[in-house]
C-alpha cells in the first residue's frame, strides 16, 4: 500500500440519504466487507419514523452508522468521522453528529434548489458551496452524473440507472479504506444473477466509484484499518432481532419442543415474527393473532399443550398482556414474553430506543405476580439471553420476560456463533404417567417447580385456572392461610432461580473500589468503552452489567457494598436505580438519558470523570 496512507485504529462512518437511496444496503455491504477483513465492528441503523416520509425531507432521511476498527469495538460510536450525505436533508439531520474535522462526502446532485428547499434551508443557502462547512473536510461528488456517465451505454432508463448511485459511493469508500470489492461483487452476482444487465450495471458503477477515488486521488486520503485482535474463531454478523429468533429456535431444538410464536406486529419487535415465519422446517409455528391479548393467550394455550411458547411485542402491546401474564404466572406454565423496548410512554417514539419498560416488566400486573426478567446486552447477546430465558421458563414452569430494545434489535455486531452440539440441552418437567399416590398438579420439586401434565396423558386429567389454588392439589381454595402460603410460594419459586443462574461478574475493574458503573441491557457497549477509557486514564472504576434482573444474582449485594459509589446509566428516568436502592439500600445514583438514542461513550465517561474527581 502506498505510504501516504494513514493507519487508523477505528473509524465511524454514517451513511445517510433519502429512504429510497439504498443507504441500509450500502452500510451493510461495507460492514460485511469490514467483517471479512477481520475488523471488529458495531452498527446501528436509524430509520425514519414514517413509512415513507416525503422524499428529500428530514423526516425522510434513513441512516446507517458503522463503527469498525483494529481495536475492540463496543458501540456504533458517538460522533462520526465520515458522513455520507446523499442529499441536503441527510446533511442537515446528521451534521451535528459529525466530529469537528470529520469528512463529509456529499452528493452534489442532492443539493439542488429543490432538495435544499425540501431540507428547509433558507432561500439561496447551499451548505456545500457557501463555506459554512469549513470546519470539515468536504468532498463533493456529483454522484448522479458519474453514475449516469458510467451507464450511458447500458441501454437502461434513467430511473433504473439512478438506482445504482449508492454503488458509486460504496465503491469510492472501498477505495478510501483500501477494501477489496469482491465481497460486494459476489453479493451482486447472487442478487442479480437472473438479471444480467442490472448486475453488470451495478458492478460497473461500483468499480466506477472505486476508480474515481483512484483517478482523483487529490481529493481524499486513503486509510488502512487493520484486523482487530478478536478471539479466534468463526464469525458472522448478526442483528439483535435475528439473534433472538435464532436463540428461540436453538432452545426449541435443545429442549426438544416445537416452537410456537403467538404475536401481533409492532415496531420494533415485528422482525422476530418475520424471521421465525421462515423457519417452518424447524417445526416453528408463527401465529399472527388478532391483537396482543390473543397473542399471549394463544401462547398460554400452546404452553398448556406442551410446547415452547413465546410472544413478542413492544411496550404498548406488553401493556395489553398484563392480565394474561398474571394468568400464566398463576397457571405456572412456561412461556417467554419478549419486549423489544421502544421510546415511550404511550405510542411515544416507536422507531426509537429506550429502556423505560423495566418497571412494567417487574411490576406491571395486578396482585403479587412475580415473573423472572432477563435482558440482553448486545445484538449477539440476544441469542444467549433468550436461550437462558427459555431454559428458566421450562425448568421452573414460569413465564419469563425477556427485555431487548430497539438499539440492539436493529444494531449488529460480529458474532462468534456457537456450534449446535455445544449448546446445553434442557428439558421440561413432563409427567407421563400417574405417580404412586396419585397425581398432584401443584406438587413441587426441589426447584419449587410443578409438573407439566399435558393433555393426552391418561390419568392426568386435571383443571387449572386463575383463582387461588390449594397447595399441591391445585383445587380452588379461598382459605386465607393457603393464599398467603401460595403467594409466598410463588415468590420463593422465582427467588429460587437465583440458585440456578451464574453469579454476577465484573466486566472490568477491581472487585472493590471507588466507583462501580452498573448497567443492564443495551448500555453495555457504551459503559464498557467508557470504563475502559477511564481506567486507562487511571480512574478507580469498575463495571458490572446485569443480565438477570429478577431474581438478581445472589452475590449482587456483596459486589455493590464493595464500592463507594454506584453509578447506574439507564435510558429512562432511573428504574433499575430505584430497584437497587430499594433492595440493597445503597444510595445509587443515576445517569439518565431519555432521548430515544443510546448513550455515547463520552457521556458516560464524562460522568465517571466527574465522580472520580469529586
Partner 1 sequence: MSATTTSAEDKKFTSKELVTDQEVRWCPGCGDYSILKQVQTVVPDLGIPREDIVFISGIGCSSRFPYYMETYGMHSIHGRAAAIVSGLKCVRPELSIWMVSGDGDSLSIGGNHFIHLLRRNFDINLLLFNNEIYGLTKGQYSPTSHEGKVTKSTPMGSIDHPFNPIALALGANGTFVARSMDRDPVHLKEMLKRSHGHKGTSFLEIYQNCNVFNDGAFEIFTDKGTKKAETIIIEQDKPLIFGHNADKGIKLEGFKPVIVDLNANGNSANDLWIHDEKDLTKAGILSRFFDRPEDGADHLPRPFGVFYSADRSCYEDGLKDQIELAKSKKKADLDSILKGRETWVIG
Ligand X SMILES: Cc1ncc(C[n+]2csc(CCOP(=O)(O)OP(=O)(O)O)c2C)c(N)n1
Tell me how crowded residue 70 is: count the other CB atoms within 10 A of its CB: 20
Burial of 373-400, coded b for 16+ CB within 10 Å and e otherwise, reads bbbbbbbbbbbbbbbbbbbbbbbbbbbb
> Per-residue contact track with its own copies, 457 to 496, x per CB under 8 A?
--------xxxx---------x-xx-xx--xx-xx-----
Q: Which of 515, 614, 532, 610 is nearest to 568 (CA)?
A: 515
* Number of chain positions touching ligand SF4 (CB under 6 A): 2
Residue (177 or 599) nearer to partner 1, CB? 177
Strand order, beta sheet including 40-46: 137-141, 98-107, 80-85, 10-18, 61-69, 40-46, 412-415
Residue (58 or 230) nearer to ligand SF4, CB? 58
Residue (24 or 355) nearer to its own copies, CB? 355
The reply on whether position 278 binds ligand SF4 by CB under 6 A is: no
Side-chain-side CA neighbours of residue 364 (13 Å): 20
Burial of 570-594, coded b for 16+ CB within 10 Å and e otherwise, reads bbbebbbbbbbbeebebebebbbbb
Q: Are 312 and 261 in contact (CB under 8 A)?
A: yes
> Per-residue contact track with partner 1, 330 to 369, x per CB under 8 A?
-x--------------xx----------------------
SS3 381: helix
Contacts with partner 1 in 389-448 (CB under 8 A)? Answer: 417-420
Contacts with its own copies in 525-584 (CB under 8 A)? Answer: 572-573, 578-579, 581-582
Q: 349 to each of 61, 298, 596, how far by Cα in Å?
A: 16, 28, 7
The reply on whether position 156 binds ligand X by CB under 6 A is: no
Q: Per CB under 6 A, which region of 258-266, 410-418, 426-434, 544-552 contacts ligand X?
A: 258-266
DSSP 8-class letter at 121: P
The one of ligand X, ligand SF4, its own copies, none whose footprint includes residue 467, by CB under 5 to 8 A per kind, is its own copies
Tell me the closest approach of the beta carbon of residue 302 to its own copies, in angstroms: 19
The reply on whether position 118 binds its own copies by CB under 8 A is: no
Residue (38 or 513) nearer to partner 1, CB? 38
Answer positive or negative: Cα dihedral of 486, 490, 495, 501.
positive
Q: Per CB under 8 A, which region of 1-9, 51-59, 81-89, 123-131 contacts partner 1?
A: 51-59
Contacts of 110 (CB under 8 A, 6+ apart): 17, 18, 85, 86, 87, 88, 90
Of 170, 248, 299, 597, the one binding its own copies by CB under 8 A: 597
Tell me the closest approach of the beta carbon of residue 256 to ligand X, in angstroms: 32
The reply on whether position 322 binds ligand X by CB under 6 A is: no
Tell me the closest approach of the beta carbon of residue 356 to ligand X, in angstroms: 16
292 vs 314: CA distance, rounded Å: 10
Of 42, 298, 356, 575, the one binding partner 1 by CB under 8 A: 298
Contacts of 136 (CB under 8 A, 6+ apart): 98, 100, 101, 102, 103, 104
Q: Are 182 and 37 in contact (CB under 8 A)?
A: no
Residue (74 or 264) nearer to ligand X, CB? 264
Q: What are phi and psi of 61, to 5 degrees?
A: -75, 135
Of 44, 64, 235, 605, the one binding partner 1 by CB under 8 A: 235
Tell me the closest approach of the beta carbon of residue 359 to its own copies, in angstroms: 4
Q: Per CB under 8 A, which region of 215-223, 267-275, 480-488, 594-602 contacts partner 1?
A: 267-275
The reply on whether position 54 binds partner 1 by CB under 8 A is: yes
State the residue for C-alpha cell 423526516. Answer: 59
Contacts with ligand SF4 in 42-81 (CB under 6 A)? Answer: 51-52
Which residues of the chain form contacts with ligand SF4 (CB under 6 A)? Answer: 51-52
Which residues of the chain form contacts with ligand X (CB under 6 A)? Answer: 264-266, 292, 316-317, 320
Which residues of the chain form contacts with its own copies (CB under 8 A)? Answer: 49, 59, 293, 314-316, 318-320, 322-323, 326-327, 329-330, 343-350, 352, 354, 356-357, 359-360, 362-369, 465-468, 478, 480-481, 483-484, 487-488, 490-491, 572-573, 578-579, 581-582, 585, 587, 593-597
Amino acid at each position: 500500500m502506498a505510504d501516504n496512507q494513514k493507519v487508523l485504529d477505528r473509524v465511524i462512518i454514517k451513511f445517510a440519504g433519502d429512504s429510497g437511496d439504498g443507504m441500509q444496503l450500502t452500510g451493510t455491504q461495507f460492514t460485511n466487507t469490514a467483517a471479512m477483513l477481520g475488523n471488529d465492528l458495531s452498527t446501528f441503523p436509524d430509520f425514519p419514523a414514517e413509512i415513507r416520509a416525503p422524499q428529500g425531507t428530514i423526516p425522510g432521511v434513513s441512516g446507517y452508522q458503522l463503527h469498525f476498527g483494529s481495536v475492540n469495538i463496543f458501540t456504533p460510536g458517538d460522533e462520526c468521522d465520515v458522513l455520507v450525505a446523499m442529499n441536503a436533508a441527510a446533511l442537515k439531520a446528521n451534521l451535528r453528529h459529525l466530529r469537528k474535522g470529520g469528512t463529509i462526502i456529499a452528493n452534489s446532485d442532492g443539493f439542488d434548489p429543490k432538495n435544499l428547499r425540501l431540507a428547509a434551508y433558507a432561500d439561496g443557502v447551499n451548505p456545500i458551496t457557501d463555506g459554512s462547512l469549513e470546519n470539515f473536510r468536504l468532498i463533493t461528488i456529483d454522484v448522479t452524473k458519474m453514475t449516469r456517465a458510467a451507464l450511458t451505454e447500458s441501454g437502461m432508463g434513467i430511473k433504473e440507472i439512478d438506482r445504482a448511485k449508492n454503488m458509486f459511493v460504496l465503491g469510492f469508500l472501498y477505495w478510501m479504506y483500501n477494501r477489496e470489492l469482491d465481497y460486494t461483487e459476489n453479493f451482486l452476482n447472487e442478487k442479480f444473477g437472473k438479471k444480467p444487465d442490472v448486475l453488470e450495471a451495478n458492478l460497473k458503477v461500483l468499480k466506477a466509484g472505486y476508480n474515481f477515488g483512484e483517478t482523483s486521488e487529490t481529493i481524499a486520503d486513503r486509510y488502512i484499518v487493520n484486523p482487530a485482535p478478536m478471539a479466534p474463531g468463526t464469525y458472522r454478523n448478526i442483528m439483535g432481532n435475528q439473534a433472538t429468533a435464532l436463540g428461540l429456535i436453538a432452545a426449541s431444538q435443545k429442549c426438544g419442543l416445537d416452537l410456537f410464536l403467538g404475536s401481533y406486529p409492532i415496531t420494533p419487535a415485528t422482525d422476530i415474527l418475520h424471521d421465525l415465519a421462515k423457519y417452518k422446517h424447524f417445526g416453528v409455528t408463527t401465529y399472527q393473532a388478532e391483537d396482543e391479548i390473543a397473542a399471549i393467550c394463544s401462547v398460554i394455550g400452546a404452553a398448556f399443550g406442551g410446547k415452547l411458547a413465546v410472544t413478542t411485542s413492544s411496550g404498548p402491546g406488553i401493556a395489553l398482556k398484563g392480565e394474561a401474564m398474571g394468568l400464566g404466572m398463576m397457571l405456572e406454565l412456561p412461556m417467554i414474553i419478549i419486549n423489544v423496548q421502544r421510546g415511550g410512554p404511550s405510542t411515544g417514539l416507536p422507531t426509537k430506543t429506550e429502556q423505560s419498560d423495566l418497571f412494567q416488566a417487574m411490576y406491571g400486573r395486578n396482585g403479587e405476580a412475580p415473573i423472572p426478567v432477563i435482558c440482553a446486552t448486545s445484538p449477539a447477546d440476544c441469542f444467549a439471553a433468550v436461550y437462558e430465558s427459555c431454559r428458566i421458563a421450562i425448568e421452573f414452569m414460569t413465564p419469563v420476560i425477556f427485555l431487548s430494545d430497539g438499539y440492539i434489535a436493529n444494531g449488529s455486531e460480529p458474532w462468534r456463533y456457537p456450534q449446535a452440539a455445544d449448546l446445553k440441552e434442557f428439558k421440561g418437567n413432563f409427567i407421563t404417567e400417574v405417580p404412586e399416590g396419585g397425581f398432584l398438579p401443584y406438587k413441587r420439586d426441589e426447584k419449587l417447580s410443578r409438573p407439566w401434565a399435558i393433555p393426552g396423558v391418561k390419568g392426568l386429567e386435571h383443571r387449572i385456572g386463575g383463582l387461588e389454588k390449594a397447595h399441591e392439589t391445585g383445587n380452588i381454595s379461598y382459605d386465607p392461610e393457603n393464599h398467603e402460603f401460595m403467594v409466598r410460594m410463588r415468590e420463593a419459586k422465582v427467588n429460587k432461580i437465583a440458585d440456578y443462574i451464574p453469579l454476577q461478574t465484573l466486566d472490568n475493574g477491581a472487585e472493590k473500589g471507588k466507583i462501580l458503573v452498573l448497567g443492564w441491557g443495551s448500555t453495555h457497549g457504551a459503559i464498557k468503552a467508557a470504563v475502559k477509557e477511564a481506567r486507562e486514564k487511571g480512574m478507580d472504576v469498575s463495571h458490572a452489567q446485569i443480565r438477570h434482573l429478577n431474581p438478581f444474582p445472589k452475590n449482587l449485594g456483596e459486589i455493590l457494598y464493595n464500592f463507594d459509589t454506584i453509578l447506574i446509566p439507564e435510558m429512562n428516568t432511573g428504574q433499575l436505580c430505584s430497584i437497587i436502592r430499594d433492595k440493597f439500600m445503597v444510595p445509587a445514583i443515576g445517569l439518565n438519558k431519555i432521548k430515544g438514542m443510546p448513550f455515547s461513550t463520552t457521556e458516560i465517561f464524562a460522568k465517571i470523570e466527574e465522580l472520580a474527581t469529586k
